[in-house]
């Protein structure tokens, strides 16, 4: 077949605008955006009481999960808060809960459906709550990239590793091809394992986590990493570049963490003498290398909790969490790393009206916005997730199989 070529068709401005407004659908991405039903008005003064009443009526039948980046108005109703994988495992640990209401984004709800039993129904209050990073790796694109590696004769020595922040389709692809899922906490362990299986890694979908882990934690050089752009023929890379690379990084990133720059770090150091810069490894390489502390969302929370009173912290992660940490620790000076504040726009689509609507529909016996992963995809995604849980140093056992 020869060296693979591909073309990229830019979506129309109208179609893109409709998606951003939460209307229409895009079958080429991981999610739809339709949200059926009549939502309560955001100005309804009884929203909090309505949410509490509906949750009380459902009792133990419902389990509400709240990601750290959710709005405070939603977090107050969460039974458990945490990062995406922790929340999916918490759902699997409660088989008595018939309904799992996941206040997060689409790929997180998919992971919960993969790990919970068939008797449990996972609900996402707003189907338009997606993840721009997850959307940057579409299955057809990844399969085309794998064809490129196959034609070059290097697919057999390449191990796919996908970040938890990816669609079920991508996790399934990784499971089918002998790879592993990772989190921002265990990325090094996952890559150590992968390089015991092969000589190359295809890292999906976040280029920054892959690069930062390989270079800063594993001793690779930046020259060992190449960036595969799915919108260019053959990823925009030559056969020689792909053959020589150790890390083939997918051209994806987090829209929130990717906005932080070296100027952001330099600016806050000038404004706040003695400030500690604490960032997520999804940030750009130059930001991570300039920071004082780097780690996952849970690491950021624990670092702030353990920090001495009076210390100053500039935190490079989603604003809802930074604000919550600042309010919880008034004895410390906690600020957003960038002068321009930035929420995760898709995470913030889950608001109180959507949560009230989803809960009241469940009370009425109607399951809305159910997230389901087809059995074949779920099986192979579970294979990749189980491989992550089997990594050396993993401190948890796999949840019950679906």
Asked if residue 184 belongs to a known ligand binding site, the reply is: yes
Please, what's the b/e burial string for 239-249 (b: 16 or more CB within 10 A of its CB; e: otherwise)? eeebeebbbbb
Asked if residue 281 belongs to a known ligand binding site, the reply is: yes
Please, what's the b/e burial string for 114-130 (b: 16 or more CB within 10 A of its CB; e: otherwise)? bbbeeebbbbbbbbbbb
Q: In whole angstroms, give the CA distance from residue 51 to residue 233.
A: 50
Asked if residue 342 belongs to a known ligand binding site, the reply is: no
Asked if residue 299 belongs to a known ligand binding site, the reply is: no
Asked if residue 131 belongs to a known ligand binding site, the reply is: yes
Asked if residue 67 belongs to a known ligand binding site, the reply is: yes
Asked if residue 165 belongs to a known ligand binding site, the reply is: yes
DSSP 217-259: IT---GGGEEEE-TTSGGGG--HHHHHH-SEEEES---TTGGG
H-assigned helices in 339-391? 352-363, 375-389
Asked if residue 280 belongs to a known ligand binding site, the reply is: yes
Q: In whole angstroms, give the CA distance from residue 56 to residue 352.
A: 16
Asked if residue 208 belongs to a known ligand binding site, the reply is: no
Q: How many angstroms separate the most distant Cα atoms in the chain?
A: 64
**Dihedral sign (CA 146, 150, 152, 158):** positive
CB atoms within 10 A of CB 48: 14
Structure tokens at 77: 């109703």
Q: Do the beta carbons of residue 204 and residue 227 sit within 8 Å?
A: no
In the three-class reduction of DSSP (H, G, I as helix; E, B as strand; rest coil), residue 65 is classed as strand
373: nearest Cα among 41, 97, 31, 104: 31
In the three-class reduction of DSSP (H, G, I as helix; E, B as strand; rest coil), residue 97 is classed as coil
Q: In whole angstroms, give the CA distance from residue 111 to residue 114.
A: 5
Asked if residue 163 belongs to a known ligand binding site, the reply is: yes
Asked if residue 266 belongs to a known ligand binding site, the reply is: no
Asked if residue 99 belongs to a known ligand binding site, the reply is: no
Q: Within 13 Å of residue 200, how many CA atoms lie on the same side as its CB?
A: 21
Asked if residue 343 belongs to a known ligand binding site, the reply is: no
Q: In whole angstroms, give the CA distance from residue 280 to residue 262.
A: 14
Binding site listing for [4Fe-4S] cluster: 131, 254, 344
Binding residues: 67, 84, 131, 163-165, 184, 254, 280-282, 297, 344
Known binding residues for iminosuccinate are 67, 84, 163-165, 184, 280-282, 297
């Amino acid at each position: 077949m020869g060296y693979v070529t591909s073309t990229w068709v830019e979506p129309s401005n109208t179609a893109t605008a409709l998606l951003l407004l939460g209307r229409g659908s895009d079958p080429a991405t991981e999610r739809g955006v339709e949200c059926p039903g009549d939502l309560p008005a955001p100005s309804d003064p009884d929203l909090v009481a309505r949410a509490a009443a509906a949750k009380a009526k459902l009792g133990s039948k419902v389990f509400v999960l709240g990601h750290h980046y959710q709005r405070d108005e939603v977090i107050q109703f969460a039974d458990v808060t945490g990062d995406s994988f922790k929340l999916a495992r918490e759902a699997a640990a409660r088989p008595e809960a018939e309904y799992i209401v996941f206040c997060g984004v689409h790929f997180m709800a998919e992971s919960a459906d993969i790990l919970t039993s068939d008797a449990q129904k996972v609900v996402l209050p707003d189907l338009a709550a997606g993840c721009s990073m997850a959307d940057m790796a579409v299955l057809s694109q990844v399969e085309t990239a794998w064809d490129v590696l196959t034609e070059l004769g290097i697919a057999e020595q390449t191990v796919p590793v996908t970040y938890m922040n990816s669609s079920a389709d991508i996790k399934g692809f990784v499971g089918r091809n002998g790879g592993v899922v990772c989190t921002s906490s265990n990325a090094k362990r996952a890559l150590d394992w992968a390089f015991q299986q092969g000589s190359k890694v295809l890292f999906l979908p976040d280029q920054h986590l892959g690069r930062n882990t390989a270079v800063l934690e594993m001793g690779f050089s930046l020259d060992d990493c190449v960036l595969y752009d799915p919108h260019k023929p053959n990823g925009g890379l030559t056969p020689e570049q792909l053959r020589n690379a150790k890390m083939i990084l997918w051209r994806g990133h987090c829209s929130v963490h990717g906005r932080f720059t070296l100027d952001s770090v330099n600016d806050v150091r000038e404004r706040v003498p003695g400030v500690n810069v604490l960032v997520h490894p999804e940030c750009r390489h130059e930001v991570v290398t300039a920071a004082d502390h780097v780690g996952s969302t849970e690491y950021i929370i624990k670092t702030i909790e353990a920090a001495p009173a009076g210390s100053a912290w500039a935190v490079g992660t989603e604003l809802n969490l930074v604000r919550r940490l600042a309010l919880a620790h008034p004895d410390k000076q906690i600020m957003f790393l960038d002068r321009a504040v930035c929420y995760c726009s898709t995470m913030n689509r889950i608001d109180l009206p959507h949560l009230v609507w989803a809960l009241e529909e469940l009370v009425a016996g109607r399951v809305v916005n159910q997230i389901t992963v087809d059995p074949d995809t779920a099986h192979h995604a579970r294979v990749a997730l189980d491989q992550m849980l089997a990594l050396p140093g993993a401190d948890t056992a796999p949840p019950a199989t679906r």
